[in-house]
Amino acid sequence: MAPHAEEKTGSGGGISSSPVSDLLFKNTSPNVVYTDDEIRSRYTYRTTSVTKQPSGQYQVTPKAQLYDFKVGRKVPKVGMMLVGWGGNNGTTVTAGIMANRRNTTWETREGPRAANYYGSVVMGSTMKLGTDPETNKDVNIPLNQVLPIVHPNDLVVGGWDISGMNMADAMDRAAVLEPTLKAQLKKEMSYMVPLPSIYYPDFIAANQEDRADNVLEGSKACMAHVDKIRNDIRDFKAKNGLDKVIVQWTANTERYADLIQGVNDTADNLLKAIETGHEEVSPSTVFAVACILEQVPFINGSPQNTFVPGAIELAERHDAFIGGDDFKSGQTKMKSALVDFMINAGIKLTSIASYNHLGNNDGKNLNSHRQFRSKEISKSNVVDDMVEANHVLYPEKGEKPDHCVVIKYMPAVGDNKRALDEYYAEIFMGGHQTISLFNVCEDSLLASPLIIDLVLIAELMTRVQWRSCSDDGAATTEYKGFHSVLSILSYMLKAPLTPPGTPVVNALAKQRASLTNIFRAFVGLEPESDMSLEHKLI
């Protein structure tokens, strides 16, 4: 590749660019090139292929594949449209962005507080860049400084809701934020009113009916709803002078849609089912289809099966990004970390009992059995890949810990969800270990930073292209984008969606390592192994 090029400052059309002098670091490798428009890197991806022989022995073959990556440097003006904008999560993330944009401070009974992005992996965490040779200490930088990423303060927020309540009143209804903070944001948020949404009563709990005063005509899927959503996205984009829009489902949990051959099993069948108003096409799937056809990334933050096989096929057909399912904010994030620790420590986990009670509208909706079943599935499957990875502890096919999930609606606790977990495990010589956790989660304050992360990373991926190369460096494919299913978002999601036929990873440490190492590859850096051999080979 050519030597490094010096960057020039430039902007226009609502897009700001980052000159080389503004980058926090610069890779001096000849395999990395900086231009006005992009960062280009040549990266060797190393893996190990393992084949089991008839004798039972494994044949191990190291493999290496050379890739070229391109990352667009010009950060666009981005809109974030939320389905369920007037709910707890939608109002909280909107108020949070507004407060950060204004550098708002407010008084509480515990003293003054200031706006921040704590809980956001992009905005609140760091990544090891390397080691300082003089001090032998790690050099860590903010994750949002590794690549050109949209700042959440610059997001333009809008969306849909079945309730027509303005965002200031909806924020009061949610009862998440301090009154002294809400008072400073109320005037501006009172002018924000959600667009009418689609409402199919069969898919959400009957106790949500009293909210549904801002809905489009029709109670079943139809192409008119798809077209209206597409027009809403276009209008929002044009009105706000946006370069891109990311749509995210933050609305109520739906019941699972039945998977029916000839209805939602293929892209063509799904489109036909929408045209004919089939009763097993959910509102979230209609939103997904509209976004796919509009080539706008769509992320599902609830546990229902929005991405039926036909929706995934449609996304692949249109090279549209999708991601899901269900925000992984509190209890499940702890579970995916703790189970990973226990099984990797050689401790045989035999049962997990998870109990939750919460009093927000999510809890009210989940009081209905069919909606709870969607949540139960996303919470229960979070340990599967970790169990399957250890056939020493779990030698029988299909063997896994007993796993029970209970959720109860308790209005008095509001958004302060209580999560109680008991992990029961078998240890050395027939002994047992029990770990009990009591986790009080301010539910929407944990979920809102994840909504931001999902939007920022999804947008970044729209600016990434790759091609494969032969060992001599010659390109063997044309540049193209990543797969439509954005599995890089897995760290933020309970039931991460992966491309068909690929494994699901729920282990939190693996998900985080995958995210940071992919970022490193985009700027020509090797994965950080933490071997620290330079300190051990003495």
pLDDT of residue 374: 63
Closest by CA to 114, choosing from 103, 125, 128, 102, is 103
Q: Are 48 and 61 in contact (CB under 8 A)?
A: yes
* Complete domains list, the chain, with CATH: 11-75+454-533 (3.30.2360.10), 78-116+148-327 (3.40.50.720), 331-442 (3.30.360.10)
pLDDT of residue 428: 96
Structure tokens at 259: 């998977």
pLDDT of residue 453: 98
Mean pLDDT of 41-66: 95
Closest by CA to 251, choosing from 81, 495, 487, is 81
Neighbour tally for 75: CB within 10 Å:
21
Residue 517 in this model has a pLDDT that exceeds 60: yes
The pLDDT tens digits for 147-179 are 999 999 999 999 999 999 999 999 999 999 999
**Alpha-carbon distances, residue 343 vs 36, 349, 369, 385 (angstroms):** 48, 7, 32, 11
Active-site residue (options: 182, 328, 417, 421): 417
74 is catalytic: no
Active-site residue (options: 333, 335, 375, 379): 375
Task: Identify the three-state secondary structure at position 424.
Answer: strand
Weakest mean pLDDT among 239-243, 262-266, 323-327: 323-327
375 is catalytic: yes
417 is catalytic: yes
Active-site residue (options: 68, 161, 326, 453): 326
- Alpha-carbon gap, residue 374 to 395, rounded angstroms: 29
Q: Are 192 and 94 in contact (CB under 8 A)?
A: yes
Q: To 5 degrees, how large is the angle CA 159–CA 163–CA 164?
A: 75
pLDDT of residue 415: 82
Helices (H), 381-528: 384-388, 443-461, 508-522
Residue 81 in this model has a pLDDT that exceeds 60: yes
Residue 144 in this model has a pLDDT that exceeds 60: yes
Percent with pLDDT over 90 in the chain: 74
Residue 312 in this model has a pLDDT that exceeds 70: yes
Strand 78-83, strand 244-249: pairing: parallel
26 is catalytic: no
Active-site residue (options: 70, 228, 244, 494): 494
pLDDT of residue 12: 28
Task: Identify the three-state secondary structure at position 362.
Answer: helix
The pLDDT tens digits for 316-371 are 999 999 998 889 988 888 888 999 999 999 999 999 999 988 877 777 766 666 76
- Alpha-carbon gap, residue 193 to 500, rounded angstroms: 38
